[in-house]
Structures are given as C-alpha cells and as structure tokens.
C-alpha cells in the first residue's frame, strides 16, 4: 500500500499579544461598568452582579500566560470587547486565505515543493469567514495550485481529521500531494465578556504538506496510522449559523451566538475518551506506549494534557516528551497540536515514533501515529 508522509509544516504567528494581566484588566473594567449600569436591578436581586476575573485563576486552571491575536483593537476596549478588523473587498485576498498562504509558504519550502507538485488544498478550521466560495479554493488560487480544494470543519479536531482525509486520498491515488491549512481566528467567535472562558483562545494559522512517502524528503514523518472518533455533546457549542435571521430574537446580542461550554464536564468526559482512543489505536497498531518519543497534544489546558500524557504513557511524562505551546498561544483550536509538532519534532532521530492528537467540540478526537523517516 502507498505510504504517506508529512514532509512540511508551517506556522503563521500573529504579531500582537495579549497577556493575562491586560485581558483581566479589560474584562474587570467591563464588568465594573456593567454592574454600575445595572446597579438598581442588581440591588433588587436580578441579575447577579458580574464576577471579576483573576490572573491567578487563569494560570492555575489552564496554564495559559498570553495569547496571540490578529488585532488587539476592540478586544481590550471595555466599550467593545471583541476584535475590530477592517472589511475587505471581494476582490482582495480574505484574511483567512492571507494567513493560510503565509503558513503554506513555509510548509512548501520545508518540503522542497512548489505549487506544481500539489494536487489539492484542504482548509480545515473550526470557523470559516464565509460559507462560500471555499477559503481553500481561494488559497489554491493564490498559490497557483491546480486540482481541487475544499473547506471542512470538525472544530478543534479539524487538523487531525484533515490529515486522515488527505492521507486516504493520497493512498488511493486521487492526489500526489495535499496541502492542509488551519487558519484559526478564534478571537472572532470567542466571548470575551464571559469570565469563565474569556482567557481560553488565541489566533494562529498552521499548514501541513502531505505526499507519497516514496517521494518525500529525508527526515519527513511517515503517517503510520490515523484513527478518528466522534460522540455528540452539547457541552461545547455555538448556535450562530445561517438560519439565524429566520428565528425570532436571534439577531440580538445573544450569548449563545459565540462559543460557550461546560468546561468542567468537557474536562471530565473528554480526557477518558482521548486516552481510550490513543491507547486502543496504539494497541491495534502493535505500538507500545513506551516506544513513543513524543506526544503532540491538542493545546487546550495544561492540566488536561498532564493527565492524558500520564494515562497514555502509564507514568508522568518527562519534560519535553509532551511539549506544550498553550502558555504562549492559548487554545488555538485545530492548530494547537500542529504548532507543537512543527516546533518540537525536528530534534528527533530517524525511527522515532510519536502521536499527534486533537480533541474538542463534537465531541471529536483524532490520533495520528507518525514515524520519522
Ligand atoms: N477568574 C476567577 N475565577 C473564575 C474565572 C476567572 N476567569 N473563571 C471561572 N472562575 C471561577 C468559577 O466561577 C468557579 O467558581 P465557584 O467554584 O465559586 O463556582 C471556579 O472559578 C472554578 O471554575 P471552573 O469549575 O469552571 O474551573 P475549572 O478548574 O474547571 O477550569 C477551564 C475551567 C479552564 C475552562 C477547564 O474546565 C477546562 O479547560 N476544561 C476543558 C475545556 C476544553 O478543553 N474545552 C474545549 C474547548 S475548545 C473546542 O472544542 C473548539 C471549539 C471551537 C473553537 C471556538 C473558538 C472560539
């Protein structure tokens, strides 16, 4: 059977950063203003006053120290509390396509490939800035790639699901090489006015170039096997969608039109799901957990990753065995495990085995076993 390899990766990191201190100051000022505005009603017992956020809580509960964003403008303004990005003309490259091209250029260069070598583009992300035409087709055109392109969305698991889709297509012969991009502008669909989650997300774009292993450069990573799993849950949800204007009252500023979750339930339910998936996948492929050099996990929460690493390996992971990037990037949805892989895989020798793993809304989880060539 045709073997498939990851021969290039790219990470576009936005220039602007927001620290926990800056985030908490903006949120707390917003909460103070809301409480002052509704002081009379609050005194009468309805609604509850908005609680304050704290840097200490954020670091302890999540491990996040700062996040990158496409723009700070608006997010830190207590009178706005969401990013403000200029509108682009239809003729101009859209913002998701722009950051995809930047990450893709790096992946192509690393793989030693040009547009002529690639037959397809997949844009796998947790939100797309428009329903159509596909962002992937715009990226395809911008890079001068022939063949076909499409968008897909499996929330935080979009990248591992994209890797399986691409690997299957290359294996079956429908494409020689496929470029996957994960432009995650989470700041646009995040709720910055909710203390329970305002610290969670950040923006980034990753890219992965996959091709036939027999044509790939030395030092590429063979995709040994992929496994995906989904199980419906309402614990991470966003009700915004194309039917919004058909529903009475949905055009107002409703909380459920942005990301919302039951974070503690997600933590408790997703950890066992992910551990079972990875352990079962490794067992079926005859790979002992002790033979893994590295786990590149989804970057949502440091405590969650510590627990998953410990349960998969059967011991506490050594420093470096399970690298985190969430302290600097926060949760970048589907891109998180790819940033970790791109940053922390080049030092490993040929023959090294590792697992790229995602988990998130759906629920959805994906496990990709890779071996350095
Ligand atoms: N400051 C101070 N106190 C706070 C804050 C805050 N900012 N936030 C909450 N608290 C309080 C709570 O109110 C609570 O108080 P009390 O005990 O009095 O009720 C107390 O702190 C503890 O709160 P939690 O139980 O919520 O705290 P946890 O320890 O559970 O930590 C986390 C919260 C960090 C959210 C944690 O539960 C977690 O990480 N869970 C997993 C979440 C997760 O991985 N979700 C996946 C989401 S990503 C995804 O699927 C992609 C979706 C698509 C992308 C969307 C982009 C926008």
Please write the tens of the pLDDT for every residue from 195-216: 999 999 999 999 999 999 999 9
Q: Residue with the nearest Cα to atom 5 of ligand 1?
A: 196
Q: Is 58 in the pocket of ligand 1 (CB under 6 A)?
A: yes
User: Cα(44) to centroid of ligand 1, in Å?
Assistant: 29
Residue closest by Cα to atom 56 of ligand 1: 186
- DSSP 8-class letter at 26: H
State which of 21, 61, 234 you would mutate to test the pocket of ligand 1, scoring each by most atoms of that ligand within 8 A of its C-beta. Answer: 61
196 lines ligand 1 (CB under 6 A): yes
Output the residue whose Cα is nearest ligand 1's atom 11. Answer: 196
What gap in Å lies between CA 216 and CA 88, rounded to an integer?
38
Q: Whose CA is nearest to atom 10 of ligand 1?
A: 196
Q: Parallel, antiparallel, or unpaired for β 221-230 and 204-212?
A: unpaired
User: Which residue's CA is the nearest one to ligand 1's atom 30?
Assistant: 264
- Residue 52 contacts residue 103 (beta carbons within 8 Å): no
Using CA atoms, how far apart are residues 189 and 10, in angstroms rounded to an integer? 24
Cβ of 156 closer than 6 Å to ligand 1, yes or no, is yes
Is 154 close to ligand 1, i.e. is its CB under 6 Å away? no
| C-alpha 327: how far from chain center | 14
- The answer, yes or no, to whether any atom of ligand 1 lies below 6 A from the CB of 29, is no
For 57, counting Cβ atoms within 10 Å of its Cβ (0-12 exposed, 13-18 middle, 19+ buried), the class is middle
- pLDDT confidence of residue 7: 98
Q: CA-to-CA distance for 175 and 146, rounded, in angstroms?
A: 11
At residue 193, the pLDDT reads 97
> Is 68 in a helix, a strand, or coil?
strand
Is the distance from the beta carbon of residue 365 to the nearest atom of ligand 1 less than 6 Å?
no
What is the C-alpha to C-alpha distance for residues 68 and 30, in angstroms, rounded to an integer? Answer: 21
Tokens of 286: 């005859």
**What's the CA gap between 22 and 52, in Å, rounded?**
14
Write the burial class of residue 163 (CB in 10 Å: 0-12 exposed, 13-18 middle, 19+ buried). buried
**pLDDT at residue number 1:** 84
CA of 22 to the centre of ligand 1 (A): 19
* φ and ψ at residue 246, rounded to 5 degrees: -80, -10
Asked if residues 311 and 365 have their Cβ atoms less than 8 Å apart, the reply is no
Enzyme catalytic residues: 156
pTM score: 0.96
Query: Over the range 30-52, which residues count as b (16 or more CB within 10 Å of their CB) and which as e?
Result: bbeebbeebeeebeeeeeeebee
**From its phi and psi, is residue 211 left (phi > 0), alpha (psi between -120 and 50) or beta?**
beta
Could you tell me the distance, in angstroms and rounded to a whole number, from the CA of residue 216 to the centre of ligand 1?
Answer: 42
Q: How much distance in Å is there from the Cα of 271 to the middle of ligand 1? A: 15
Count CA atoms closer than 13 A to 22's CA, side-chain side. Answer: 15
Task: Tell me if 343 CB under 6 Å of ligand 1.
Answer: no
Ligand 1 pocket residue status of 171, Cβ below 6 Å: no
Distance 101 CA to ligand 1 centre (A): 33
| SS3 at position 341 | helix
* Cα 53 to ligand 1 centre (Å): 11
Check if 190 has its Cβ closer than 6 Å to any atom of ligand 1: yes
Are 228 and 364 in contact by the 8 Å Cβ rule? The answer is yes
222-372 folds as Peroxisomal Thiolase; Chain A, domain 1 (3.40.47)
Instruction: Tell me what pLDDT residue 319 has.
Output: 84
Compute, in angstroms, the gap from residue 195 CA to the centroid of ligand 1: 9
How far is 195 from 20, CA to CA, in rounded Å?
A: 12
| Phi, psi torsion values for 288, nearest 5 degrees | -75, 135
Cα–Cα dist 94/158, whole Å = 20
- In this structure, the residue with its CA closest to atom 39 of ligand 1 is 301
150 lines ligand 1 (CB under 6 A): no
Q: Tokens 């980034």: give the residue.
A: 204
* Regions of the chain with pLDDT less than 50: none
């Amino acid at each position: 059977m045709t073997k498939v390899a990851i021969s290039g990766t790219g990470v576009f990191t936005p220039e602007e950063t927001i620290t926990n201190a800056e985030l908490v100051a903006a949120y707390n000022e917003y909460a103070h203003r809301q409480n002052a505005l509704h002081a009379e009603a609050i005194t009468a017992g309805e609604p509850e006053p908005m609680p304050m956020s704290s840097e200490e809580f954020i670091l302890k509960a999540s491990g996040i120290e700062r996040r990158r964003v496409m723009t700070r403008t608006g997010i830190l303004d207590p009178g706005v509390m969401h990013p403000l990005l200029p509108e682009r003309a239809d003729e101009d490259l859209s913002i998701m396509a722009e950051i995809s091209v930047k990450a893709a250029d790096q992946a192509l260069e690393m793989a030693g490939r040009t547009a002529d070598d690639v037959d397809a583009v997949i844009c796998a992300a947790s939100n797309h800035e428009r329903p159509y035409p596909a962002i992937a087709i715009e990226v395809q055109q911008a890079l001068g790639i022939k063949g076909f392109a499409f968008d897909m969305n499996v929330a935080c698991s979009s990248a591992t699901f994209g890797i399986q889709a691409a690997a299957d297509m290359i294996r079956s012969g429908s494409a020689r090489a496929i470029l996957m991009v994960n432009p995650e502008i989470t700041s646009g669909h995040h709720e910055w006015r909710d203390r329970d989650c305002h610290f969670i997300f950040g923006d980034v774009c990753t890219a992965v170039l996959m091709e036939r292993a027999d044509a790939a450069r030395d030092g590429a990573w063979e995709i040994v096997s992929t496994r995906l799993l989904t199980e419906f849950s309402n614990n991470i949800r966003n009700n915004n969608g194309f039917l919004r204007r058909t529903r009475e009252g949905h055009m107002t500023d409703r909380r459920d039109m942005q990301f919302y979750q039951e974070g503690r339930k997600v933590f408790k339910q997703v950890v066992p799901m992910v551990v079972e998936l990875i352990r079962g996948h490794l067992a079926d492929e005859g790979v002992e957990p002790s033979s893994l050099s590295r786990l590149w996990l989804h970057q949502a929460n440091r405590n969650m990753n510590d627990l998953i690493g410990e349960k998969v390996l059967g011991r506490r992971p050594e420093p470096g065995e399970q690298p985190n990037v969430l302290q600097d990037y926060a949760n970048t949805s589907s891109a998180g495990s790819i940033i970790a892989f791109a940053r922390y895989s080049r030092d490993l020798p040929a023959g090294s085995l590792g697992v790229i793993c995602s988990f998130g809304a759906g629920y959805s989880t994906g496990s990709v076993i890779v071996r350095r060539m």
